[in-house]
């Protein structure tokens, strides 16, 4: 925004949002909303990917611990109280 104006750059040309046709304003609002949804979805994907990695690591450590009982404690040991919550 410049001086309270919402300037939109389309194909290298700046436009004042308020001067655009209602259909163009609506499309821009839709694009902005979709971009927010994509960002939120990517944030969730990042969280899920991290969780998957933790569970994979837990499995790997668990399998190693079966072979060597002196192996380090599991990162996700359900028998231990959690600090979160």
The pLDDT confidence band at residue 74, using thresholds 50, 70 and 90, is: low
pLDDT in tens, 8-61: 999 999 999 999 999 999 999 999 999 999 999 999 999 999 999 999 999 998
The pLDDT value given to residue 80: 57
Output DSSP code: residue 53: H
CB 14 within 8 A of CB 8: yes
- Closest residue by Cα to residue 6 from 35, 29, 23: 29
Each domain of the chain, given as residue ranges in start order, spans 7-67
Cα distances (angstroms) measured from residue 81 to each of 51, 60, 63, 78: 18, 21, 22, 7
The pLDDT value given to residue 81: 56
Q: Is the pLDDT of residue 2 over 90?
A: no
CB 17 within 8 A of CB 6: yes
Distance CA 44, CA 47 (A): 5
Q: Would the pTM count as exceeding 0.75?
A: no
């Amino acid at each position: 925004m410049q001086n309270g104006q919402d300037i939109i750059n389309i194909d290298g040309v700046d436009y004042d949002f308020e001067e655009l046709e209602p259909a163009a304003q609506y499309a821009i609002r839709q694009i902005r909303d979709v971009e927010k949804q994509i960002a939120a979805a990517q944030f969730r994907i990042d969280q899920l990917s991290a969780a998957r990695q933790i569970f994979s690591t837990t499995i790997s450590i668990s399998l190693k611990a079966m072979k060597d009982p002196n192996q380090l404690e599991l990162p996700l040991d359900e028998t231990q109280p959690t600090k979160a919550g």
